[in-house]
Chains A and B, each alone.
Chain A
C-alpha cells in the first residue's frame, strides 16, 4: 500500500477550494469510479518530437487514461501531422466519438511550452537538443519525461538537474529498464547483500555502426532542418544524418552508443550499486572508431572504472567480451540481467522474496513486461506528477548514468586515464578533460 503514502498533486492544486472534490492520495482507482478518470483529473501532455521514439511514447500513453496528449511539436510536418492523426483517432475511440480534434501541432516547441494548460511534456528529441529543450521546458513550469541520455554534454546535465530542483518539477529520465521487475530484482539482490559484497560489475551494450557517406541535398518539404539542427553545428542536410540510426553515430548529435545505449545498463549498474554513481572513480580504456564514412563515434570499446573501495566496473560493447546487460558479481554469487531475462548463480536467487527490512527499490505500476517497461515507466511518471514525489528514474540518477558513458567517451578522446568526481561534476586535476564537459552551442541557442 505504499502507493497511498503520498500526496496528490491535484490535491495541491485544489487547495484554494473549500470542499475538495478529488482524493488526496495517489491510487488511480480512487480518482474516478470504475477506473475511468474524470476529465478534469487528466494530466495534459505536450509531445516534443514524434519520430521513432516519440511514436513509441504515444503508443505507451494510449493505455493510460490519466494522460491526454493535447499538443505536438516536431520540425517535420509529415511526422507531426501523422502523430496528430494517431492521437485524434485514439481519443475519438476513447470518447466514443466519430472524430476528435483537440490536439494541436507546432513546428516550434517554444509555442507549445508557452501554453499554460499543458501540465507535462515528453521530450523525445535527438540527444543534442536535450540540454536546451529540457531546461526551457522546466523553466516554463512543465513536468517532464526526458529521454535518455539526460544530455549530450555533461555540463548540460548539471543545468537540467538544477532546473528540476529550483522549479520544483517532476522529471523522469527515460531509462525505462528500471520499470521492469527483472531489472529491479537484480538490483535489489545486489543492494541487499544477497550476492555478498559486490566486487565487480560487468556492463555490455550494443556497439556503434559505421555509415557510408551521403551526398548533401535539400531537406524534404515541410522539414525545418534549421530547427532540427538547433544548438548543434549546421552541416548541410543529407538523407541519412537525421535518421535512425546514423544520427546516433554522429558526434554533433550524439556521443554514440557508448552513451546513448550504454546509459541503459550503466543506469542499472548504478541502481544496484550506488557507489558507481556516487563515488569518485578512475576510468580508462580503448576504443575503435570508423576510418571512413560519415560517422565519428566509437564502434567498440573496453572501459574499466575503478573505485577506492576496490569495486570495479567493466563496460564494453556487447561481446567484447561483456555480454549484453548488467552483471553484478559478489563474493557469494552473481546475477546477470538484460532485456531477454535474468540469470543467477543460484536459482533460488531468482525467486527470492525480500524481507520487510530489506531495501525495496521503487516499483513502477505494473502493466506486464511488454516493451521493457516503457508503459510502466510512463505510468510511473504520471503517478509522480500527481504525488510530487521523485519517479523511479530521478534526474540526478539519469545524469549520473549518462555521465558514466560520457566520461568514457572523453577518456577515449584524450587517450588517457581520468579521475571523475561525481559530487563536483569535475575531472580531478585535468583541465583538458574538464574543457570537454561542454561544447559551444550554435546561435541563438543557449542554456
Chain B
C-alpha cells in the first residue's frame, strides 16, 4: 500500500523533490504557521526544501532563519509549528536568532524547544543565553539546560553549575554531576572529587560514571597526574566492578611504555580484578619478539596460578618459545598449572609432545579429555604420524578408539591403512570409530578392500556399518554430481561369484542408479533364492523414487508376505522423499499405500511420512485419524509437523487450531503436546 502510495505520488503530481527544486510558496509559509499535529507535512516539507536551498548561501540562510524566527514569536503561530521551526533552526539557526530564542526560552511552553536550538547555535551569545537560563528554570527544563551546557562543554559554565551541585532536587544534582563529567577539566574534577568524598563507597553510578569520564578527559588533555588520581580512587576494591575495571584500564593506559611491567606485576596480584585486567590487556596487546621474550623468561619465576595464566595467553598468541616451560608444567602436580599446560600444547605442541598427552589418556587421568582436545588441535602432519604410532602401541581398547577418533578429527589420511585393519576388529568400540573415520578419510582406492572386509563380516550390525561406510565413500569420491557412485562396486560385482554378488546386492541397492538397477532386476528374476532375496532387499534399499512402480507391483503381487511388507514400507519411504512431483499426487500415492496396508504398523508409517506433503489437504486427511485409537498418536505427530510451517498454519489458522486443540488433549508425548500448545499461541 505504501509503495503504491509513493508511486502514485510520483506519477500524479511529481510530488517528490530534488535538491534545487522550487522554494516554498507564500501559501506554504501561511500553512506552516497554522500547522497542527496530524496534518499533512506538505507545507513543512516545502519549507524544508527552502531551508536546504538556503544553506547554499549565507544571505539566503540568514533571510530564511530570520523569517522562521519571526514566526516563532508570533502569537498566531501554533505550538506544533513552533516545534517544527525549532527543529529547523537547530541545523541552520545563527547567532542572529539568539535574542529571539532567549525570549522564547522564558515561555514554559516553548522553553525546551528554544533550549535545544540554543545548544546547537555556536558562539558566546547562545552560551550566555543558556547559562542565564539556569537561574530562571526549574524541574525538567532546568535538567535540559544543564545537559545542553554539558554538550557545549565550555568550562565557563562550571561556576554556574557548581551552585546546582547541592540542589534539593536529586535529578538536578545528577544532571549537574553528569555535566561536570562531560565538561571536564581540573575545576570540574575538584567538585566531583568532593562529591565522591561525600558519597561513601561504593560511589553511586550517577557520580562514578561522570567522575571516570572526567578522568579520561584529563588524560586526553595531558593531565596524567590528575587522571591517575581519579583512576586510583575508582579502582579501590570497594567500588562497583564495572567502574573498577574501567579505572584499572585507565591506569594501564596511563602507564605508557611501562605497560608490560605493569601487566606482569598485576598478573601476580592478589586482586582478582587486577589479574583479569592484566590478562585482558595482554590478550589485546601485539607483542614484538623482545617483549614476548621478556614474558617467557618471567614465566618460571611466577606463582603457579599466574604462571598458568601467562602461559595460556602467550600460547594463544602462538609464542612457541614457551614450549619448554609448558613441557615442564605438564609434569607439575598443581592441577591448575598442569591443566593449562596441557591446553597450551594444543597450540605450541609438536610431535614430541604427543607422548605427554597420550600418557594422560592411557592412564585415564582427570586430564585425559583436555589432552584429547589438545591432540585434536595440535598443528602439523608429524603429529598425525606420532599419534598413529601411539595408537599401534596402546593396549587399552578404549584409549585406542579415542585415538582413532582423534585421527578422524585431524583428517589424518596417513592413518587410512591402519584404520582399515581396525575396522575389522570384532569390538564395536573399536570398529565403529574406525569406520566413522574411514567415512571421512578413505578414497575410492580403499573401496575394494572395504568390500573384502564386508564379505568376511557376518555380524549384521557390523556388516551394516561397513555397508554404510562404503556408501558414504562412494558418494563422496564420485567424479562429479552426475557420476554413478556405484561404479567401483559394480566393477567388483562383475567379477564376483554368486555368493559374493548376493552380499553386494543390498549395497548396490543403497547406491542406486541405472546400472545397479539392471543387476538388481536380473537378480530378482534369478532361480537362485539367495540372489532373489538379495535383489528384493536391494530394491527396498533404493535411495530414490525411481523404483516406486516396481516396489508398488511387488507390494501388491509378491507371493511372500514378508516381501510385500518390505516393499510397501520401502514404497512409502521413497514416494515421500523430496521430489518435483505435484504435492497432490504425492498425497494420493501415500493414500493408496494406506489403503493397501493390511497392518496398523504400515498405516502409522504412512501417517508419519505424510507430513512431508505440506498442504492443507494433508491436514484434512490426517485429522479423522485423531479419532482412531490405533493411529491417533501418529496422527498427532503429523499434525504438529504440519503446523510447524507458518506458511501453512497462518492462512489456515482455524483448521489448525481445532486440530492442535485435539492433539494437545490426546497426545501421550509431552513434546508433541507442548508443540501443539505453542503453535496454538502463534509462537
Contact = CB atoms under 8 A, between A and B. Distances in A.
Contacts of B439: none
A292 B277 contact: no
Contacts of A267: none
Given A7-B279, A15-B275, A210-B2, A166 B38 contact: no
B112 to A, nearest CB: 6
Contacts of A92: 674
Contacts of A238: 38
Nearest to A410: B91
The binding surface of chain A is classed by DSSP as loop
A164 to B, nearest CB: 11
A64 interface: no
A415 B19 contact: yes
A168 B245 contact: yes
Contacts, number: 227
A215 interface: yes
Interface size on A, as a range, is: 35 or more
A166 B216 contact: yes
Contacts of A431: 122
Interface in B51-110: 52-53, 55-56, 83, 87, 90-92
B41 A213 contact: yes
B313 A7 contact: yes
Nearest to B335: A19
A412 B16 CA distance: 14
A114 to B, nearest CB: 8
A86 B150 CA distance: 42
A436 B52 CA distance: 13
B316 A168 contact: no
A415 B283 contact: no
A288 B18 contact: yes
A142 B183 CA distance: 25
Contacts of A245: 2
**Most chain B CB within a 10 A radius of its CB, from A27, A286, A415, A416:** A415
Given A15-B309, A167-B246, A440-B151, A213 B39 contact: yes
A210 B8 CA distance: 11
A72 to B, nearest CB: 15
Interface in B314-361: 316-318, 335-336, 339-340, 343, 346-347
Interface string B660-683: 000000000011001000100101
A152 to B, nearest CB: 14
A439 B87 CA distance: 9
B112 A443 contact: yes
Contacts of A288: 16-18
A295 B42 CA distance: 10
A291 B9 CA distance: 8
Contact of B144 (A211, A412, A416, A443): A443
B274 to A, nearest CB: 10
B120 interface: yes
Interface in A325-345: none
B44 to A, nearest CB: 8
A236 B83 CA distance: 12
A292 B15 contact: yes
A7 B683 contact: no
B283 A389 contact: yes
Interface string B208-244: 0100100010000000000000000000000011110
Contacts of A12: 276, 279-280
A430 B171 CA distance: 36
Nearest to B678: A89
Contact of B283 (A6, A20, A162): A6
Interface in A285-338: 286-296, 299-300
A23 interface: yes
A443 B52 contact: no
B83 A168 contact: no
B141 interface: yes
Interface in B108-155: 112, 115-117, 119-120, 122, 140-141, 143-144, 147-148, 150-151
A388 B280 contact: yes
Interface in A205-230: 209-216
A432 B57 CA distance: 12
B335 A211 contact: no
B683 to A, nearest CB: 6
A415 B379 contact: no
B476 interface: no
Contact of A441 (B37, B147, B316): B147
A51 B676 CA distance: 24
Interface string A97-114: 010000000000000000
A63 B215 CA distance: 42
B278 to A, nearest CB: 10
Most buried by B among A25, A238, A294: A25
A20 B41 contact: no
A166 B249 contact: yes
A168 B317 CA distance: 20
A246 B1 CA distance: 12
A401 B272 CA distance: 37
Give the 5 A-B CB pairs with smallest separation, nearest first: A141-B242, A443-B144, A440-B116, A292-B42, A291-B15
